[in-house]
Structure 1
Amino acid sequence: MIGLCLGLAGVVWAQLPVSSFTLAWNHTVEKIRWEEDYRVTEQGLVLEQARIRGSGAGMEIPQDARLENGSWHYQRQLPPLQPLSLGRAPEAGDYQLCFDDACHWMSHWVGPPNRQQAFIALWPCTSD
Protein backbone atom coordinates (compact mmCIF):
# COMPACT_ATOMS: atom_id res chain seq x y z
CA MET A 1 0.00 0.00 0.00
CA ILE A 2 1.21 3.48 -0.82
CA GLY A 3 1.29 6.03 1.97
CA LEU A 4 2.89 9.27 3.07
CA CYS A 5 6.38 9.46 4.56
CA LEU A 6 7.63 12.40 6.63
CA GLY A 7 11.33 12.93 7.19
CA LEU A 8 14.44 14.49 5.80
CA ALA A 9 17.11 13.45 3.30
CA GLY A 10 15.26 10.19 2.62
CA VAL A 11 15.23 9.17 6.29
CA VAL A 12 11.70 8.29 7.39
CA TRP A 13 10.63 9.85 10.69
CA ALA A 14 6.99 8.83 10.35
CA GLN A 15 4.84 6.94 7.87
CA LEU A 16 1.08 7.47 7.45
CA PRO A 17 -1.18 5.02 5.56
CA VAL A 18 -3.11 7.67 3.60
CA SER A 19 -3.91 8.03 -0.10
CA SER A 20 -4.83 11.72 0.18
CA PHE A 21 -4.46 14.51 2.73
CA THR A 22 -4.83 18.23 3.29
CA LEU A 23 -1.81 20.27 4.32
CA ALA A 24 -2.91 23.33 6.35
CA TRP A 25 -1.07 26.21 8.01
CA ASN A 26 -1.45 29.85 9.03
CA HIS A 27 0.51 32.54 7.20
CA THR A 28 3.20 33.79 9.58
CA VAL A 29 2.47 37.50 9.12
CA GLU A 30 -1.18 37.72 8.09
CA LYS A 31 -2.34 34.80 10.30
CA ILE A 32 -4.61 33.61 7.47
CA ARG A 33 -5.20 29.89 6.94
CA TRP A 34 -3.99 28.15 3.79
CA GLU A 35 -5.05 24.64 2.79
CA GLU A 36 -3.76 22.41 0.00
CA ASP A 37 -5.29 19.04 -0.95
CA TYR A 38 -2.87 16.36 -2.15
CA ARG A 39 -3.27 12.91 -3.63
CA VAL A 40 -0.47 10.42 -2.94
CA THR A 41 0.71 8.63 -6.10
CA GLU A 42 3.77 6.58 -6.99
CA GLN A 43 4.97 9.51 -9.13
CA GLY A 44 4.77 11.99 -6.25
CA LEU A 45 2.31 14.18 -4.38
CA VAL A 46 -0.28 15.67 -6.71
CA LEU A 47 -1.70 19.05 -5.69
CA GLU A 48 -5.40 18.82 -6.52
CA GLN A 49 -6.87 22.01 -5.03
CA ALA A 50 -5.93 24.86 -2.70
CA ARG A 51 -7.81 27.34 -0.54
CA ILE A 52 -6.92 30.60 1.14
CA ARG A 53 -9.18 32.66 3.40
CA GLY A 54 -7.90 36.09 2.36
CA SER A 55 -5.05 38.05 0.83
CA GLY A 56 -2.11 39.95 2.23
CA ALA A 57 1.66 40.26 2.05
CA GLY A 58 2.88 37.68 -0.47
CA MET A 59 -0.58 36.12 -0.60
CA GLU A 60 -2.04 37.14 -3.93
CA ILE A 61 -5.26 35.40 -4.83
CA PRO A 62 -4.98 33.77 -8.27
CA GLN A 63 -7.14 35.36 -10.97
CA ASP A 64 -8.99 32.11 -11.64
CA ALA A 65 -9.91 31.60 -7.95
CA ARG A 66 -13.55 31.42 -6.92
CA LEU A 67 -14.95 32.49 -3.55
CA GLU A 68 -16.85 29.73 -1.72
CA ASN A 69 -17.81 29.69 1.97
CA GLY A 70 -15.35 32.45 2.85
CA SER A 71 -12.31 30.90 1.11
CA TRP A 72 -10.79 31.43 -2.29
CA HIS A 73 -10.54 28.06 -4.11
CA TYR A 74 -8.11 27.52 -6.96
CA GLN A 75 -6.11 24.86 -8.78
CA ARG A 76 -2.50 24.85 -9.89
CA GLN A 77 -1.13 22.71 -12.70
CA LEU A 78 2.08 21.34 -11.18
CA PRO A 79 3.92 18.10 -11.86
CA PRO A 80 3.85 15.57 -9.01
CA LEU A 81 6.08 16.77 -6.17
CA GLN A 82 8.74 14.32 -5.03
CA PRO A 83 9.46 15.35 -2.33
CA LEU A 84 7.38 18.26 -1.03
CA SER A 85 9.78 20.28 1.16
CA LEU A 86 8.43 22.42 3.99
CA GLY A 87 10.16 24.92 6.25
CA ARG A 88 9.38 24.43 9.94
CA ALA A 89 10.46 27.21 12.29
CA PRO A 90 9.25 27.67 15.87
CA GLU A 91 8.20 31.25 15.08
CA ALA A 92 5.98 30.15 12.21
CA GLY A 93 3.96 27.57 14.09
CA ASP A 94 3.26 24.06 12.92
CA TYR A 95 1.56 22.55 9.89
CA GLN A 96 -1.52 20.39 10.16
CA LEU A 97 -2.11 17.18 8.23
CA CYS A 98 -5.81 16.47 7.74
CA PHE A 99 -7.21 13.10 6.69
CA ASP A 100 -10.04 10.79 7.72
CA ASP A 101 -12.13 13.83 8.77
CA ALA A 102 -9.60 15.01 11.38
CA CYS A 103 -6.63 17.40 11.48
CA HIS A 104 -3.46 16.68 13.47
CA TRP A 105 -0.44 18.87 14.12
CA MET A 106 2.61 17.57 12.31
CA SER A 107 4.42 17.65 15.67
CA HIS A 108 2.21 14.70 16.68
CA TRP A 109 4.46 12.48 14.54
CA VAL A 110 7.78 14.32 14.26
CA GLY A 111 8.03 16.60 17.28
CA PRO A 112 7.69 20.38 17.43
CA PRO A 113 9.36 22.71 14.91
CA ASN A 114 12.91 23.62 15.94
CA ARG A 115 15.88 25.50 14.53
CA GLN A 116 18.13 22.42 14.34
CA GLN A 117 15.70 20.68 11.97
CA ALA A 118 14.14 23.65 10.21
CA PHE A 119 12.85 21.60 7.28
CA ILE A 120 10.83 18.47 6.66
CA ALA A 121 10.02 16.57 3.47
CA LEU A 122 6.88 14.67 2.53
CA TRP A 123 6.93 11.97 -0.15
CA PRO A 124 5.01 8.85 -1.19
CA CYS A 125 6.29 5.56 0.13
CA THR A 126 5.08 1.99 0.38
CA SER A 127 4.33 0.13 3.57
CA ASP A 128 4.83 -3.58 4.06
Structure 2
Amino acid sequence: MSACLMIGAKAVMLASGVFTLSWTHSVERTGWAETYRIEDGRLHLTEARVMGSGAGMDPGPGATLQDDWWVWTPDLPPLPQLVLAASGATVSGWSICAGPWPGTDCEVVGAKKDEPIRVRPCSQRK
Protein backbone atom coordinates (compact mmCIF):
# COMPACT_ATOMS: atom_id res chain seq x y z
CA MET A 1 0.00 0.00 0.00
CA SER A 2 1.68 3.22 -1.12
CA ALA A 3 1.20 6.51 0.66
CA CYS A 4 2.30 10.10 0.35
CA LEU A 5 4.20 11.91 3.09
CA MET A 6 4.64 15.68 3.27
CA ILE A 7 8.00 16.75 4.70
CA GLY A 8 7.71 20.50 4.95
CA ALA A 9 6.60 21.53 1.46
CA LYS A 10 7.99 18.41 -0.25
CA ALA A 11 5.77 15.42 -1.09
CA VAL A 12 7.45 11.99 -0.91
CA MET A 13 5.84 8.78 -2.14
CA LEU A 14 6.35 5.75 0.10
CA ALA A 15 5.81 2.40 -1.63
CA SER A 16 4.93 0.63 1.62
CA GLY A 17 3.27 3.55 3.46
CA VAL A 18 5.93 3.17 6.18
CA PHE A 19 8.80 5.47 7.17
CA THR A 20 11.42 5.66 9.90
CA LEU A 21 12.43 8.87 11.66
CA SER A 22 15.81 8.69 13.42
CA TRP A 23 18.12 11.14 15.18
CA THR A 24 20.91 11.50 17.71
CA HIS A 25 19.72 12.54 21.16
CA SER A 26 21.02 16.05 21.93
CA VAL A 27 22.13 15.28 25.51
CA GLU A 28 23.03 11.59 25.57
CA ARG A 29 24.47 11.58 22.01
CA THR A 30 22.91 8.17 21.30
CA GLY A 31 20.53 6.99 18.63
CA TRP A 32 16.75 7.08 18.70
CA ALA A 33 14.43 5.85 15.93
CA GLU A 34 10.68 5.62 15.42
CA THR A 35 8.85 3.77 12.66
CA TYR A 36 5.48 5.07 11.49
CA ARG A 37 2.78 3.65 9.24
CA ILE A 38 0.47 6.01 7.35
CA GLU A 39 -3.11 4.81 7.67
CA ASP A 40 -6.44 6.62 7.44
CA GLY A 41 -4.67 9.98 7.05
CA ARG A 42 -2.81 9.60 10.35
CA LEU A 43 0.67 8.61 11.54
CA HIS A 44 0.69 5.38 13.58
CA LEU A 45 3.83 4.85 15.66
CA THR A 46 4.53 1.12 15.26
CA GLU A 47 8.01 0.80 16.78
CA ALA A 48 10.49 2.83 18.80
CA ARG A 49 14.13 2.05 19.49
CA VAL A 50 16.80 3.68 21.57
CA MET A 51 20.47 2.90 21.98
CA GLY A 52 20.98 3.38 25.71
CA SER A 53 18.98 5.26 28.31
CA GLY A 54 19.05 8.42 30.39
CA ALA A 55 18.03 12.09 30.04
CA GLY A 56 14.36 11.23 29.47
CA MET A 57 14.98 8.58 26.84
CA ASP A 58 14.43 5.35 28.74
CA PRO A 59 13.11 2.35 26.83
CA GLY A 60 9.36 1.86 26.94
CA PRO A 61 7.39 -0.95 28.59
CA GLY A 62 8.15 -4.39 27.18
CA ALA A 63 11.38 -3.27 25.47
CA THR A 64 13.79 -5.98 24.39
CA LEU A 65 17.47 -5.62 23.57
CA GLN A 66 18.14 -6.28 19.86
CA ASP A 67 21.58 -5.61 18.36
CA ASP A 68 22.46 -2.95 20.99
CA TRP A 69 19.07 -1.21 20.62
CA TRP A 70 16.16 -1.31 23.08
CA VAL A 71 13.08 -1.92 20.90
CA TRP A 72 9.40 -1.71 21.85
CA THR A 73 5.92 -1.02 20.50
CA PRO A 74 4.56 2.21 22.02
CA ASP A 75 0.88 2.30 22.92
CA LEU A 76 -0.01 5.74 21.62
CA PRO A 77 -2.91 7.07 19.54
CA PRO A 78 -2.35 7.99 15.88
CA LEU A 79 -1.12 11.53 15.16
CA PRO A 80 -2.17 13.97 12.43
CA GLN A 81 1.43 15.22 12.11
CA LEU A 82 4.87 15.47 13.68
CA VAL A 83 6.44 18.87 14.29
CA LEU A 84 10.25 18.78 14.37
CA ALA A 85 12.00 21.80 15.87
CA ALA A 86 14.95 22.91 13.78
CA SER A 87 17.06 24.75 16.35
CA GLY A 88 20.40 24.19 14.65
CA ALA A 89 21.84 23.60 18.14
CA THR A 90 21.61 19.80 18.15
CA VAL A 91 24.17 17.21 17.08
CA SER A 92 22.41 16.62 13.76
CA GLY A 93 19.08 16.82 12.01
CA TRP A 94 16.54 14.05 11.63
CA SER A 95 16.81 11.29 9.04
CA ILE A 96 13.57 10.32 7.38
CA CYS A 97 13.87 7.03 5.53
CA ALA A 98 11.39 4.99 3.50
CA GLY A 99 10.36 1.70 5.09
CA PRO A 100 10.90 0.12 8.49
CA TRP A 101 14.18 0.40 10.41
CA PRO A 102 16.78 1.12 9.15
CA GLY A 103 14.97 2.28 6.02
CA THR A 104 16.25 3.34 2.60
CA ASP A 105 16.34 6.51 0.49
CA CYS A 106 16.97 8.73 3.51
CA GLU A 107 16.73 12.50 3.65
CA VAL A 108 18.13 14.65 6.49
CA VAL A 109 15.93 17.54 7.63
CA GLY A 110 16.28 20.13 10.38
CA ALA A 111 20.08 20.17 10.56
CA LYS A 112 20.17 23.97 10.26
CA LYS A 113 18.27 26.58 12.25
CA ASP A 114 14.98 27.17 10.50
CA GLU A 115 11.24 27.04 10.95
CA PRO A 116 9.83 23.84 12.50
CA ILE A 117 9.38 21.03 9.98
CA ARG A 118 5.96 19.45 9.73
CA VAL A 119 5.77 15.80 8.72
CA ARG A 120 2.27 14.65 7.81
CA PRO A 121 0.33 12.48 5.41
CA CYS A 122 -0.37 14.31 2.17
CA SER A 123 -4.10 14.18 2.88
CA GLN A 124 -3.68 16.33 6.02
CA ARG A 125 -3.87 20.11 5.82
CA LYS A 126 -1.28 22.32 7.52
Deviation by residue 1:39-98 (Cα, 9 ceiling, x = unmatched): 112330110001101012111222411111110001111111101111121111200011
The sequence identity of aligned pairs, in percent, is 32
CA distance in 2, matches of 1:42, 1:113: 32
Q: Is the 8 A contact 1:86 1:121 kept in 2?
A: yes
The normalised TM-score by structure 2 is 0.82
CA distance in 2, matches of 1:102, 1:83: 21
Aligned to 1:102: 104
Gaps of 5+ in 1: 8-12
Q: How many residue pairs are counted as aligned between the two chains? A: 116
Aligned to 1:44: 42
Gaps of 5+ in 2: none
Aligned to 1:67: 65
The normalised TM-score by structure 1 is 0.81
Aligned to 1:113: 112
Deviation by residue 1:89-113 (Cα, 9 ceiling, x = unmatched): 1111200011254252333xxx743
Secondary structure in 2 matching 1:3: strand
Match of 2:81 among 80, 83, 97: 83
| C-alpha displacement of 1:21 | 0.6
CA distance in 2, matches of 1:71, 1:85: 25
More helix by share: 1
Aligned to 1:10: none
Taking only aligned residues, the RMSD between alpha carbons, in angstroms, comes to 1.9
